[in-house]
Homo-oligomer: A and B are copies of this chain.
Amino acid sequence: MPTKNRPLILITNDDSHAAKGLKTLIEAAAEYGDILVMAPEHNSSGLSHSFTTGRPLRVREINKTEGIEIYACDGTPVDCVKLAIEHFCPRRPDLVLSGINHGSNSSVNVLYSGTMGAVIEASTYDYNAIGFSLLNHNPDADFRACIPFVKQIITDVLRHGLPTNVSLNVNFPNLPAGQIKGIRVCHEAKARWADSFEKRIDPYGRPYWWLTGRFICNDYNPGTDEGALADGYVSIVPIQPDYTCYSAIEPLAQRFEKLNG
């Protein structure tokens, strides 16, 4: 069991408990506190903020040693966070981490990301939460250049916390250590995915569609995460679990509040 006088750090991801990025994050975080990992049993990329209904969840113990407990859960990343917080953490976690994801979660990708779904879920409980992602999808990606930044960001957030309900979306450019220029705190670039599916015909003459997709972004100014990453910086976007477009409330009130069904 974790000891009571060290920070408790809850870790999850969406690439599964077996991912190299998760192991890298556990190793980097272990010097700062006791670690409890609740990660998906299977790859859960693209599961966004979804949760499991209609069937119960199972949990499998993978490791239980002094200061590091690791569990696999057959639910989504959001399920992992909820279940760990309510039924596995021996005390309130001081920090929730997710990743390091194999692949980008910058810009509009945050909408689809299971890694960031877990982070946003934690932020609704007002836990300090950080998602880390490397712009390299390879299962054997080299995370070494990320580690010093991960450690500095963990240290800062454990010491100073984050604003209420605000979490961090941290993305690393796919560069060797010496070539990363620093950190930029920025906003999400405007982008979208296109050409999402490829149509094929099965041997019986029936159509089916495979997910493909092409990332379309024309928003590379230095204030955006895509701009920061293209310039060789680590991007940090502060995010909040609120989709409201505040600037549209007043003009739309003029239009809609006069309607009466």
Binding site for B on A (CB under 8 A): 43, 45-54, 56-59, 78-79, 82-83, 86-87, 108, 110-112, 114, 117, 120-121, 124-125, 145, 148-149, 152-153, 156, 160, 162-163, 165-166, 168-169, 177, 180, 182-188, 190-197, 199-200, 206-211, 234, 236-246, 248-249, 251-253, 255-257, 259-261
Chain A interface helix/strand/loop/mixed: mixed
Q: Which 3 A-B pairs have the closest CB atoms?
A: A238-B248, A239-B243, A48-B49
Question: Smallest distance from the beta carbon of A256 to chain B beta carbons, Å?
Answer: 5
Among the listed B114, B148, B207, B257, which residue makes an inter-chain contact with A261, where contact means beta carbons less than 8 Å apart? B148
Question: Smallest distance from the beta carbon of A213 to chain B beta carbons, Å?
Answer: 8
Residue of B nearest to A186 (CB): B249
Among the listed B58, B78, B192, B208, which residue makes an inter-chain contact with A57, where contact means beta carbons less than 8 Å apart? B208
Question: Smallest distance from the beta carbon of A180 to chain B beta carbons, Å?
Answer: 6
Question: Smallest distance from the beta carbon of A158 to chain B beta carbons, Å?
Answer: 13
Asked whether B47 lies within 8 Å of A50 as measured between CB atoms, the reply is yes
Q: With A83-B197, A253-B185 as given contacts, are A48 and B117 in contact (CB-CB < 8 Å)?
A: yes
Q: With A196-B86, A255-B160 as given contacts, are A183 and B260 in contact (CB-CB < 8 Å)?
A: yes
Asked whether B182 lies within 8 Å of A257 as measured between CB atoms, the reply is yes
Given the complex of chains A and B, what is the CA–CA distance between A182 and B261 in angstroms? Answer: 7
Among the listed B86, B244, B261, which residue makes an inter-chain contact with A145, where contact means beta carbons less than 8 Å apart? B261
Given the complex of chains A and B, what is the CA–CA distance between A108 and B240 in angstroms? Answer: 11
Asked whether A248 lies within 8 Å of B124 as measured between CB atoms, the reply is no
